[in-house]
Amino acid sequence: MGHYNNFKTVVYIPAEVAQKLTAEKLASDWAWIEKYIGLDKVYLETHRNNIDVPAEHLRMIRDFLESKGVIVSGGITTTINDFDGAEGGKQRLFGTFCYTDPAMRARLKEISEYTAGLFDEIILDDFYFTNCTCERCIREKGNRDWVTFRRELMKDVSENLVVGPAKAVNPKVRMIIKYPNWRESYHFTGYVPEVQRDIFDATYTGTETRSPQYTDQHLPEYLSYSLVRYMENAWPGRNGGGWFDTYACWSIDRYLEQAYLTAFAQAKELMHFQWSDLIENPMLSAMALQLGKIDKLMDGIGKACGVPVYIPFASSGENHLEMRFGMLGLPMEPTPFFPEGAASMLLTESSLADEDIVEKLEQYVREGGNAVVTTGFFRGAEEKLRAAGLTEARLSGRSIPVTRYQVTGDFAGFIEHRKTMFFPEIVHGNNDSWSLLNGGDGDTHSALVLRRAYGKGRLYIAAILDGDSGLYEMPKAAVDVIKRILTGGEYVSGRNVSAFTYDSGRILLYRYVKADLRPEKVTLYTERKKAVLVDDLTGMKYPSHEVRRWEDFRPSGGSSAEVLLQPGKFTKVHWETEE
């Protein structure tokens, strides 16, 4: 049954760690990990770099762990140093294989067959990509660009050197590919999830975000949630788990938040990388305190859901923008498939990777959908959007300074004397389109959120400022304009806060532990009248208030409630309607 109801606790043992484990050390390490987080499963690696762990040693580790009730699967990291028979002089980042080198190809096939002879399940660590540009790769690439060449090459490798040979040795082996946390770059190095989902049995997701300000990939913390959701939508029902580590987590909270968000995204396994890093690590004792709380929060919560954001396979552009919105309380549900039938959706520059996107968007809006497109998307599709009749707006090519914001309509108000930020200027025809949010400086301003009716639906253009992390510094009331559009009025007003929503109506609220450690008071809104916000864990009812407003010249309204969120603590709430 495992130690928890909603996920398994899993640890990875790399080859260099495995080869040094004596029976005595293995037993003491297991006791430590079992004491603090409970150990449901281990992935035991057979190969990394030039280390191949002998079969007898692997069996010793496997037999001990299985005697303790631990499930044991295999692991492979596809890195290798130069060796006899392989061509030398290759410039390979991280020692990844050159998949055109005959000797390296044969070596990988041998590793896959060896591992399949020992385990009925195998995971590939996320070095299963290619960056080699050696003379042989250049020749075999021919006239193709690097992306096309590597995508085709890694399809061949997956079928004929990894999965095929493994299943020939062990027909029941289950092959898992772990995708890294840099989704926007998959296609540049040969990761092809849209192809590999027909080759591999399951996938796994890298949810390492570490300390975003200083690490190489500068990933917003929300990635630990959103990338799991993306891969779940890409491989429905076959996304096995989320994988995080202790590296560059310059506070215990930063380490813990990776696990929280991985669990909130409903990953089936929480992978703690790696075995030796966990021993006598105070981060693990903190994790021990929190896992039970997370598990209790997830009981009966339903299925994760949110605002669809369309990020096609093999796309990049405005990278991580949806994660920024996720850090501002907007629940995001990224998907590689166009979300037909959704009430609303967000399209970013990445959405332009779909060559038919404007045609799909035109039909979606005409039939009643509400779509928010960013200026990154608009810049790449401006002419097609105007030709389709969706808008008459254009981008001037200039950036405008903004120190003042004006929210129009029922939520009308001015926010003055803000830090200067620069936004792309949207030019539009008055009264053909209507600005819901203006921004300016001095006696001039420009639309920051523009609405245009079309058919039964609406197209909104949202100006994204230069340097999208500046979204965190925008006034809450300004960002709330986008939230209201995308959520239909069911939203949370706050920043450095995430709201995770589920089809049961439950909402998990989390205030990140950032440099500003003060509590954050957030306001929850619902379109339901006479509704009361209830704390699921305590049963407490928050004071609720009636919201009265006019929208599109029609009377509207709802309810609101305020919640004070402490940094690093969870809150689980839902709305109930009073009789």
Residue 550's pLDDT is 55
Distance CA 510, CA 566 (A): 8
Exposure on the CB side of residue 183, measured as CA atoms within 13 A: 34
Distance (Å, rounded) from C-alpha 165 to C-alpha 171? 10
Please, what's the b/e burial string for 524-533 (b: 16 or more CB within 10 A of its CB; e: otherwise)? bbbbbeebbb
Residue that is written with structure tokens 């009730």 in the block: 69
Distance CA 39, CA 61 (A): 14
198: left (phi over 0), alpha (psi -120 to 50) or beta: alpha
Amino acid (1-letter code) at residue 362 = E
Would you identify the CATH topology of the domain 305-482? Rossmann fold (3.40.50)
pLDDT of residue 413: 82
Q: How far apart are CA 418 and CA 299, in angstroms?
A: 43
Report the pLDDT value the prediction gives residue 495, as an integer from 0 to 100.
85
Cβ-contact 346, 483 below 8 angstroms: no
Q: What integer pLDDT is reported at residue 469 of this predicted model?
A: 83
The whole-number pLDDT of residue 557 equals 79
Cα dihedral sign, 375-376-377-378? positive
User: Collapsing DSSP states into helix, strand and coil, what is residue 273?
Assistant: strand
Question: In whole angstroms, what is the distance from residue 100 CA to residue 103 CA?
Answer: 9
Is the separation of the CB atoms in 86 and 115 below 8 Å? no
Per the CB < 8 A criterion, the answer to whether 404 and 416 are in contact is yes
Give CA separation, 258 vs 41, 212, 487, in Å: 19, 12, 26
366 class by beta-carbon count within 10 Å (0-12 exposed, 13-18 middle, 19+ buried)? middle
Predicted local distance difference test score (pLDDT) of residue 549: 66
How deeply is 87 buried, as exposed, middle or buried, from its count of CB atoms within 10 A (0-12, 13-18, 19+)?
A: middle
Which residues, at least 6 apart from 87, have a Cβ–Cβ distance to it below 8 Å?
Answer: 98, 101, 103, 134, 136
Q: DSSP of 485-535, one letter per residue? A: HHHTT-EEE-SSEEEEEETTS-EEEEE---S--S-EEEEEEESSTTEEEEE
pLDDT tens for residues 452-483?
999 999 999 999 998 888 899 999 999 999 99
pLDDT of residue 89: 84
Domain ranges of the chain: 8-299, 305-482, 497-577
Q: How far is CA 304 from each of CA 183, 188, 239, rounded to the nearest angstrom?
A: 20, 30, 14
The tokens describing 95, both together, are 């020692």
Do residues 343 and 333 touch, judged by C-beta distance below 8 A?
Answer: no
Sign of CA dihedral 48, 165, 121, 180: positive
Residue ranges for the chain with pLDDT beneath 50? 553-554
**Helices 252-264 and 282-298 meet at what angle, rounded to 10?**
30
Question: Structurally, what CATH architecture does the domain formed by 497-577 represent?
Answer: Sandwich (2.60)
Contact in structure between 132 and 90 (CB atoms under 8 Å):
yes
pLDDT at 394: 96
492: which residues sit within 8 A by CB, 6+ positions away?
329, 330, 483, 499, 507, 509, 522, 523, 524, 525
Determine the topology of domain 8-299 in CATH. Answer: TIM Barrel (3.20.20)
